[in-house]
Amino acid sequence: MRHHHLTQATPILDHHAPAIRQLIQQRNWTSLGLHDRVGAAYAFVRDEIAFGYNTQDDLPASRVLADGIGQCNTKGTLLMALLRAMDVPCRFHGFTIDKALQKGAITGLAYWLAPRNIIHSWVEVDMDGRWVNLEGFILDRAYLSALQKRFSQHNGPFCGYGAAVDDLQNPPIAWQGESTYIQRNGINHDFGLFDTPDDFYAGHGTNLSGFKRHLFQHVVRHWMNKTVQSIRSGV
């Protein structure tokens, strides 16, 4: 197999976890061809794992699945694990984004706590020798639809509320065998390619540490998730 090492499990990409294997079996995804297999995993992570904030970036995929929510890094972890569990080679591309991209979804103290440059990533998948970038899975359709309704009169580039795109009403998020994006326009630094998120976090760390990390995990992220849910509900 091409890129066999890019289908292997890791502590973060724990695709041997029973819940991940059970999901794939229940959905019968392994019976699909490559294009549809990738599309099924992509759609699941985009829309059935709601946009939201987990305790930390470097959670194992099985924990992200159990949480039922995620952001760019954690949803990407789950997508990578699902793809690798189905023998689809994939890799991690690390970046930072300007925190202005998150303004609106993150407010008040939470916005102050956030570093100016937030660790970001997307997943790259090997489609029969052609690498395709997957980033459009970050915002679930319910949240994105509410955002589009809220800013229905906006024309041109949009940055905020977890999106950074040329056209909020028509972002390239649908799986059609090509790259998908929803935050790309907010990228301000490129760390390059890594075989696994484990490798990336070992070298570059996660977004918060120390007291800020503790405050985020136990208090602030709950505020953030309430804000996201209120936006999703059209409030």
Backbone dihedral region for residue 224 (phi beyond 0: left; psi -120 to 50: alpha; all else: beta): alpha
Q: Which amino acid is at 80?
A: M
Q: What percent of the chain has pLDDT over 90?
A: 77
Alpha-carbon distance of 41 to 20, in angstroms, equals 11
How do residues 170-204 score in pLDDT, each as one tens digit?
999 999 999 999 999 999 999 999 999 999 999 98
- How many structural domains are present in the chain? 1
CATH number, domain containing residue 22: 3.10.620.30
User: Residues 99-113: what's their mean pLDDT?
Assistant: 84
Buried b (16+ CB within 10 A) or exposed e, 106-138: beeebbebbeeebbbbbbbbbeeeeebebbbbb
pTM comes to 0.94
Task: Check whether 214 has a pLDDT greater than 80.
Answer: no
pLDDT for 181: 98
pLDDT for 209: 60
> What is the extent of the structural domain holding 62?
4-232
